[in-house]
Amino acid sequence: MGWSLVRITWFGLYCGLMLSLSAFSIDIMLPAFPGLSAGLGATSQQIQLLIPVYLMALGVAHPFYGALSDRYGRKPGVYLGLAIFLVGTLVCFLSGSLWLMLVGRFLQGFGAAAGAVVCRAMIRDRFSGSALAQNMAIASMFFAIGPVLAPLIGYAIYSSVGWRGIFIFLALFAIGLGCATYSQPETLAPALRTKTSLKKTGDDFNAVWRQPQSRYFILIGICCTCLIVTFLEHAQVLYAELGADSRRFAILFALSSAGIVVGQVMNHKLIGRYGAIGAARIGALVVSVTSFIILLSVVGGVLTDRLMTLLMLGFHTSYLIIYANVVSLALDPHRERAGAAAAVFGLSGYVVGSALAALVTFIAGEQLSRWSVCFFVITAIIAIATFRWRPSETMDAG
């Protein structure tokens, strides 16, 4: 790969932390939902809006950062995104109503998008093929630590100083990422930077979408986003229905999320042996089987919070195996428009995926039985799609 293990590890750690900003900012708040509901005078269903609003902003911002990073380099986009995230965090901290909190969450999501877009483009700048998939897996492995620690940190802060303390922590996290960005080299050479215009952006987006491999895996990415958002929106309510309070929920959620770390260690080895699509297929198979067992447990009336945690542990070992490889396969054909490719992937996934998750919320309500059916259907679609793909369909548009 041309980089020492230490260099790759530091680069992977940096990209993983940048990628984790978006997910961390969601998971850290989940244990505080009851307190936010009381403090803002909102119902539990209204508080759930904090997730899709954040994710919608995350998706809408992707084209902006994609075009910006392709024109001016990767680092300026990161600095701007972190600045916007900090402004949104301040708004959230000062919020006294649901509507002001939603404004702050929108700004947070818009700012956090920089990490998702730019860091994936940075990885694509340096690597391609199997090396791209393996380094994406390394970043995802470090990213995976976030969902394990976030709910525990969130509950510790919430139980000690209240929900506003969570936003102080997020502000410090963003400042730390800004300092880490300063120490990173720019990965996009000036000769490879492109002029930004609406026409150029539109042409790049069209080229990404028309590339068969990219389009196929963008669609799978939409389903993956819908799947995880569906779980996150319902997680606190589902565990409450199974008898878990905020403290127990934070612990059990963190335990199940530990599977993400194990899964990403496995992913790196699976890619080396079976390639990106082979690893994605294995992950999709495990996720679909796990969701089917959850459905059977709900129908049989035997699901408990402990069993749910055990099953979600299996789910989390494999979800990011799918997602990380789907991202790599979507971006791989686009070396010279990596920023645009990452933007299209994120825009499609977060906006459409979140909208589909909102539809699932409307269908399922707060009923565990309906949610488990929807959850299984989505995993089945992902599994079928990954197994139907044929590598011979790949066409390099880079």
Chain segment 174-216, per-residue pLDDT in tens = 999 999 888 887 877 776 777 666 677 778 788 888 889 999 9
Q: What is the dihedral of CA 305, 307, 311, 316, to 10 degrees?
A: 40
Architecture of domain 6-186+195-393: Up-down Bundle (1.20)
Q: So what's the pLDDT on residue 279?
A: 93
Show me where the domains of the chain are located.
6-186+195-393
Q: So what's the pLDDT on residue 7?
A: 44
User: For 241-261, what is the mean pLDDT?
Assistant: 87
Please tell me which of 29-38, 72-81, 101-110, 126-135 the model is most confident about, judged by mean pLDDT.
Answer: 101-110
CA distance 45 to 262: 33
Q: So what's the pLDDT on residue 120?
A: 76
CA distance 287 to 270: 16
**Contact present, 118 and 187 (Cβ < 8 Å):** no
User: For 45-62, what is the mean pLDDT?
Assistant: 85
Q: Which amino acid is at 113?
A: A
Task: Kindly indicate the confidence band of residue 5, based on its pLDDT and cuts at 50, 70 and 90.
Answer: very low
CA distance 257 to 289: 18
CA distance 351 to 224: 12
Does 82 or 345 have the greater pLDDT score?
A: 82
pLDDT tens-place string over residues 232-247: 888 888 898 888 888 8
Q: So what's the pLDDT on residue 144?
A: 67
Lowest mean pLDDT across 104-108, 264-268, 277-281: 264-268
Does 359 or 192 have the greater pLDDT score?
A: 359
User: For 332-342, what is the mean pLDDT?
Assistant: 75
CA distance 286 to 281: 9
Q: So what's the pLDDT on residue 1?
A: 39
Mean pLDDT across the chain = 85
Residue 180 burial (10 A CB sphere; 0-12, 13-18, 19+): middle
Q: Tell me: pLDDT of 6 over 50.
A: no
Q: So what's the pLDDT on residue 198?
A: 67
Does 320 or 198 have the greater pLDDT score?
A: 320
Task: Kindly indicate the confidence band of residue 28, based on its pLDDT and cuts at 50, 70 and 90.
Answer: very high
Q: So what's the pLDDT on residue 359?
A: 86
Does 43 or 176 have the greater pLDDT score?
A: 176
Q: So what's the pLDDT on residue 284?
A: 96
pTM of the model: 0.76
Q: So what's the pLDDT on residue 254?
A: 87
Q: So what's the pLDDT on residue 300?
A: 93
Q: At what angle do helices 353-364 and 50-60 cross, to 10 degrees?
A: 160
Give the SS3 label for residue 127: coil
Q: So what's the pLDDT on residue 195?
A: 67
Alpha helices in 127-196 (DSSP H): 129-143, 145-161, 164-182
